Chain A
Amino acid sequence: MSFELETAANRESLRRVAIDPVSRVEGHGKVTLRLDNAGHVKEARLHIVEFRGFEKFIQGRPYWEVPVMVQRLCGICPVSHHLAASKALDPVVGATQITPTAEKIRRLMHYGQILQSHALHFFHLSSPDLLFGFESPVQQRNIVGVAAAYPHVAKEGVLLRKFGQEIIRVTAGKRVHGTGAIPGGVNKSLSSDERDLLRKDADQVVSWSRDAVRLARRLHEANGPLYDEFGLFRSHLFSLLRADGAMDLYDGHLRLRDARGQIVRDNMPCADYEQHIVEEVKPWSYMKFPFIRELGPAKGWYKVGPLARVQNCDFIPSPLAEAERQDFIARGDGEPIHAPLAYHWARMIEMLHAAEVIRDLLDDPDLLSDDRLASGPKGREGIGIIEAPRGTLIHHYRVGEDDLVSYCNLIVSTTHNNQAMNEAVRQVARRYLDGRQLTEGLLNHIEVAIRAFDPCLSCATHALGKMPLAVELVDEDGRLVDKAISGG
């Protein structure tokens, strides 16, 4: 099926404008616009043009290698893939229930990942847009510009991320691409020295995270009309929750709310994900378009990630973040907030929650125990679902009698948001670009909308002012009419 502005009727006769590449974290994406002679937007698409192939080449490899191999999907949130794969493979070694130590160390690693990834996204990638403005001088619109103009903001951002990375190092052995989680548990506990090293900074990190929530909230409230309307579209909300409805980023069941906030599906076991989620393939993108089977592709798409999670849960099980969540919900005045730019505020509330969880976990003596591995009668299939920084992440494997992986299905967070990001791009294109002469600043509006979702599209953006953005205006015969390049 096709959505409004997805496919123009007479597309071959329209001018094509491409943002290629849109700076994507783990590869390449592009935005194409098709405009008529008056410059009106008739088509807008966010394409993911890179093919990774992990689902295929993981087949035939031994299952115990998977959590380490598959995390190479990503350089920003490898921990998410590492843990989702480990969770999925726990039943394969018979660990239907892992030990308290293993679960707490995995949770510590995961919330450290949430903390560092959210800090990276907000401070390094998005804060330049938010602090300076979408059309501010491109030379300033980067983390170095933030450090010059708002040194305390940049410093806290860098140190927050560093703390998260340290947690990953202590639990996984390396800051990036470690080996901590293995099928059945974890391969190391914390020493008391490691625990003390982290604990001495934990309160400060909570305090800085509160500052970050205040900053995100202030930016939203100070620019209310813009933030509430920019790229606005309404959709379902989808996420993992604890059995009692609390936010839980590591484990739980699945819940779907509709755009008005009503719970449509609840208590969906992770093991049943295939009954509910279908992926549609479109010929113009390598990224699939998931939707809820019962609702169909037209109505069943949804958004995931912080904006969905903060509003899908009944409460956040840590006091400071819960207080912030209530203030956030109040701004919706009884309706869910769908504004893409509200992702930033919600993301910082989650970062505060992660900081609180980490602080509390560090007092738990189970972290120091050697009871790390569980086992039992071997299984042949497993599904692991967690909430990665960018949203719900699904890993599903089948393992043959010979211990080699025979089937692999991965639905990653950014994939869930595919339709949502396309909608945001279309809204922004319609509102800000329609009928106007294109400039770098205007095109950055599109990237601001994409960036709000924190997809694996924001990585290189704002990398020291070298955002490799090239826009070409090509006439109907494919001749280059105009070209604008920023950064790079």
Chain B
Amino acid sequence: MTKQFLLDGQPVPFEDGQTILEAARKAGHYIPSLCWHQDFPPHGSCKLCIVKAAGRHVSACATPAKEGWEVESNTPEMNGERRGLLQMLFVEGNHFCPSCEKSGNCELQALGYEYEMLTPRFRHFFPERPVDASHPDMLLDFNRCIFCELCVRASRDVDGKSVFALTGRGIHKHLTVNAESGRLADTDFSKDDLAARICPVGVILPKGRGFAVPIGERTFDTETIRSKTLKEEES
């Protein structure tokens, strides 16, 4: 007999070892995430997949499903917490959607819409983060980094290059480039690397592309991040 847990009252089957997030998405239930990627172990840093399981707040991406659990996810309380997390992410970096070329293709922005984030709510940090334009093909705009480490993991585990790393602690944490000079041009990074196309926000960008895709044809112009994620899960 298949094991199952209840997600917002709906039975969700799972296999041993599956996380709440994996089982939920496979069953057609959306739980948001920014730092989770199916090809990598859970990271649990963005916290947007937060759910209440057996009365405790846990990251759905990192918590194995358990038989008989009652999990709350798509509730006003949990969605309100997600909104708060998004608001923190927006003020922690410099996210200026109106002039950002990632607008319409950005998962952070899409989640802002999904969870009806209407105001920044918190005071902006306005951190000083430089742009690295040293590479001939790719631009790094650190202003938009959310520390999901997808580029770190992709470069290290798939590309075998370890071009990126997080450094500093607490409020001083930031993404850095593993080179003596700190410049992307002084690494063996390539535009064909997985790390070059895995960023969910607008940090790692191909040079010169900018706004080549018109409004109306960008990823989240035609569908929400919820429906896109579930569609990808089905396929």
A69-B212 in contact given A60-B131, A61-B131, A62-B131 (Cβ < 8 Å): no
Q: Which residues of A contact B211 (CB under 8 A)?
A: 64, 67-68, 179, 182, 187
Any chain A CB within 8 A of the CB of B175? no
Residues of A within 8 A of B214 (CB): 173, 179-180, 187-188
CB closest chain-A residue, reference B139: A62
Q: CB within 8 A of A403: which of B99, B100, B139?
A: B139
Residue of B nearest to A373 (CB): B212
Q: How far is the CB of B184 from chain A (nearest CB, A)?
A: 11
Q: Check if B215 sits within 8 Å of A64, measured CB to CB.
A: no
Interface assignment of B134: CB less than 8 Å from any CB of chain A: yes
Query: Is A177 an interface residue, CB under 8 A from the partner?
Result: yes
Docked complex Cα distance between A403 and B139 (Å): 9
Give the segment of B7-15, B49-57, B189-197, B202-210 that binds chain A. Answer: B202-210
Asked if A228 is at the interface (CB within 8 A of a chain B CB), the reply is no
Interchain CB contact under 8 A, A62 and B210: yes
Give the shortest distance, in Å, between A485 (CB) and chain B (any CB): 31
CB <8 Å contact, B216 and A403: no
User: Bound complex: CA of A174 vs CA of B215, how far in Å?
Assistant: 7
**Residues in chain A within 8 A of chain B (CB atoms):** 60-62, 64-65, 67-69, 72, 93, 172-174, 177-180, 182-183, 187-188, 402-404
Are A173 and B131 in contact (CB-based, < 8 A)? no
Whether the Cβ atoms of A182 and B210 lie closer than 8 Å is: yes
Chain B positions within 8 Å of A61 at CB level: 131
- B133 neighbours in A (Cβ, 8 Å): 62, 402-404
Known: A64-B209, A65-B101, A188-B214. 6 other contacts (CB 8 A): A68-B101, A68-B210, A173-B215, A178-B215, A182-B210, A403-B207
Tell me the count of chain B residues lying within 8 A, CB to CB, of chain A: 19
A75 to B101, CA, bound (A): 19
Question: Can you sample 8 A-B contacts with CB below 8 Å?
Answer: A62-B210, A64-B207, A64-B209, A68-B99, A173-B215, A187-B212, A188-B214, A403-B133
Report the Cα distance A187→B99, complex, angstroms.
Answer: 16
CB distance from A401 to the nearest CB of B (A): 9
B136-153 CB contacts (< 8 Å) to partner A: 139
Q: By the criterion CB–CB under 8 Å, are B99 and A69 in contact? A: yes
Contact with A along B219-235 (1 / 0, CB 8 A): 00000000000000000
B76 interface residue per 8 A CB criterion:
no
Which residues of B (88-113) have their CB < 8 Å from a CB of A? 98-101
Contacts A69-B99, A177-B98; A403 near B208 (Cβ below 8 A)? yes
Report how many A-B pairs have Cβ atoms within 8 Å. 58
State whether the Cβ of B179 lies closer than 8 Å to any Cβ in chain A. Answer: no
Enumerate chain B interface residues (CB-CB to A < 8 A): 98-101, 131, 133-134, 139, 207-217
Nearest-Cβ distance from residue A109 to partner chain B, whole angstroms: 12
Across the interface, which residues of B come within 8 angstroms of A182, CB to CB?
A: 210-212
For A188, list chain B residues within 8 Å (CB): 214, 216-217
Instruction: Flag if B210 contacts A404 (CB, 8 Å).
Output: no
**In the bound complex, CA of A173 to CA of B215 (Å):** 5
**B101: nearest residue on chain A (CB-CB)?**
A65
8 Å CB contact of A402 from B101, B134, B209: B134
Whether the pair A62, B207 counts as a contact (CB closer than 8 A) is yes
- Report the minimum CB–CB distance from B187 to chain A (whole Å): 16
Q: Give the distance in Å from the alpha carbon of A403 to the alpha carbon of B214 in the complex.
A: 22
Least distance between A130 CB and chain B CB atoms (Å)? 35
A174 to B103 CA separation, bound complex (whole angstroms) = 13
Distance of B102 from chain A, by nearest CB (Å): 11
A61 to B139, CA, bound (A): 10
CA of A403 to CA of B131 in the docked complex: distance in angstroms?
A: 11
| B213 engages A64 (CB within 8 Å) | no
Q: How far is the CB of A397 from chain B (nearest CB, A)?
A: 14
CB distance from B41 to the nearest CB of A (A): 34
CA distance A188 to B216 in the complex (A): 10
CB atoms of A64 and B98 under 8 A apart? no
**Smallest beta-carbon distance A54→chain B, Å:** 11
Contact B99 A179 (CB under 8 A): no
Closest chain B residue to A185, Cβ basis? B212
Chain B: minimal CB distance from A74 (Å):
13
CA A188 to CA B221, docked complex, whole Å: 15
A-chain residues with CB within 8 Å of residue B99 when the two chains form the complex: 65, 68-69, 72
**Closest partner residue, chain B, to A67 (CB atom):** B211
Residues on B with C-beta less than 8 A from A402 are 133-134
CA distance A174 to B133 in the complex (A): 30
User: B207 to chain A: which residues have CB within 8 Å?
Assistant: 62, 64, 403
Complex Cα–Cα for A93 and B211 (A): 14
Instruction: Give Cα distance in the complex from A65 to B143, angstroms.
Output: 14
Chain B residue numbers with a CB within 8 Å of A72 are 98-99
Return chain A residues, CB-CB under 8 Å to B101. 64-65, 68
* Minimum CB–CB distance for B100 against chain A, Å: 8
The 7 closest A-B pairs by CB, nearest first: A173-B215, A64-B210, A69-B99, A188-B214, A402-B133, A179-B211, A187-B214
Max count, chain A CB within 10 A of own CB: residue among B100, B101, B131, B208 = B208
When C-beta atoms are compared, the residue in chain B nearest to A404 turns out to be B133
Contact B134 A173 (CB under 8 A): no
Residues of A contacting B210 in the complex (Cβ-Cβ under 8 angstroms): 62, 64-65, 68, 182-183
Residues of B within 8 A of A187 (CB): 211-214
Closest chain A residue to B99 by CB distance? Answer: A69
Considering the chains assembled together, what is the distance between the CA atoms of A183 and B134 in angstroms? 21
Residues in A neighbouring B131, C-beta threshold 8 A: 60-62, 404
Does A64 lie within 8 Å of B134, measured CB to CB?
A: no
Query: CA A177 – CA B100 in complex, angstroms?
Result: 12
Within 8 Å CB of A69, what residues of B? 98-99
Closest CB in chain B relative to A219 CB, distance in Å: 39
Q: How far is the CA of A178 from the CA of B215 in the complex (A)?
A: 7
- A404–B131 Cα distance when bound, in Å, is 9
List, in ascending order, chain B residues with CB within 8 A of A93's CB. 208
Chain A CB within 10 Å — which of B98, B207, B209, B211 has the most? B211
Q: How far is the CA of A187 from the CA of B214 in the complex (A)?
A: 6
Alpha-carbon separation in the docked complex, A60 to B133 (Å): 9
C-alpha gap A93/B214 in the complex (Å): 19
- A89 nearest CB neighbor, chain B only: B210
Q: How far is the CA of A133 from the CA of B213 in the complex (A)?
A: 49
Separation of A404 and B217 alpha carbons in the complex (Å): 27
* Bound Cα distance A69, B143 (Å): 15
- Let me know if B208 and A64 touch, CB within 8 A: yes
Q: CB-CB < 8 A to A172: which residues of B?
A: 215
Q: Which residues of B contact A403 (CB under 8 A)?
A: 133, 139, 207-208
